[in-house]
Structure 1
């Protein structure tokens, strides 16, 4: 294992998970490690001696998430649409470091999301299903724009059943409304409000058009950059 000499540093990373869809709380990251990202189950860190890999360090109580994710990567095999999983430790996964903004960052920074990203994610979803897996939990923070192409992150829910419909709703929003905000910076606080409101809607009565209308009206009034 090429990371074995820094394993004590990796294992010293400490995070605390919370109920619901909250991000983990970081309790300790050694000064030698760089924080790359934070999720609801883990924090992702990198060491300067191994810049091409990251270490996804899981919170106590989320061991099954780590095992599930490792199994998903094993079944996905070699594919350009996902990171490479190099191995697993007692509390972490070793993954390829993937550069590029997330689609969430694209929207907040005004970076144009090209049409082919939607197509490539659909191709990736079909591939996932062909491996006997279920492509759940696909959202703006789990897709990278990498040199003009899509790269999907966080596969930990692909062993679960059911369709959470999140990606389908995003595609509908892209088709219907993205031309209205294409290239515009959408403030993070507004994006977070959209996300919070989305989770409050039940799937049975959800309409993308009706859901998006008040937020688009707000942007059209020219108040998108300042909190009301």
Structure 2
């Protein structure tokens, strides 16, 4: 199928954004597409004729975010740490398709997350900063495990100021407590509960040690000093 036909199918995707941080509401996606994910600003789909890439299609009132994200990808260039921008249209970005479980899925499935992943994300953050970007909003669902290495797949907030502290919390938790749960399957409801508590308190209002104590208590474990 030629690119014009695919672009025509992309235009048929019918969805809209919602207030605050709610996911987009989808009315219809042509069945030829495989849905990879939904976000607050866009849907991500894959076409069978182009299995090495995905299309991130933005809601009509979020096109300014499409422009900002395209700028980020262009600054990042061809990096081993990030997905790559392969093209763009009026309301979409065409991005390299990256395979592998997210760190969230690793915890759900009991897949071991090696220290190398932490080191790779730290290197990715340094790489982004060196290109005038602010790598933030890095969390369990936008880092993939690929052959023992990390790949960051969402750069949508790298033009924003400030530091949400999410990755730093995860690193501290990993290095202090991960050995206690390594290889264990952690249910999604429990991870969502931890995330909800994080949003309620915010970075700096509650320590990683206190988060970990509550988490380990819920799964019947404790850390020995």
User: Which of the five TM-score ranges fits, normalised by the shorter chain?
Assistant: over 0.9
Partner residue, 1:225: none
Verify: 1:210 aligned to 2:210, yes or no.
Answer: yes
**More moved, 17-26 vs 63-72:** 17-26
Distance 1:106 1:24 in 2: 25
8 Å CA contact 1:15, 1:58 repeated in 2: no
| Structure 1 runs (4+) greater than 3 angstroms displaced | none
In the TM superposition, 1:54-203 aligns within 5 A as 54-203=54-203
Partner residue, 1:28: 28
Deviations 1:14-40 (A, max 9, x none): 222222332222221101111111222
Residue 105 of structure 1, CA deviation: 0.5
Task: Indicate the SS of the match to 1:205.
Answer: coil
Residue 113 of structure 1, CA deviation: 0.4
Aligned residues: 220
Task: Indicate the SS of the match to 2:87.
Answer: strand
TM-score norm. by structure 2 comes to: 0.94
Which stretches in structure 2 are left out of the alignment for 5+ residues? none
TM-score norm. by structure 1 comes to: 0.92
Structure 1 residues 212 and 19: CA distance shift in structure 2, 3 A: farther
CA RMSD of aligned residues (A): 1.3
Distance 2:19 2:173 in 1: 29
Distance 2:114 2:19 in 1: 35
Distance 1:154 1:87 in 2: 16
Distance 1:46 1:141 in 2: 19
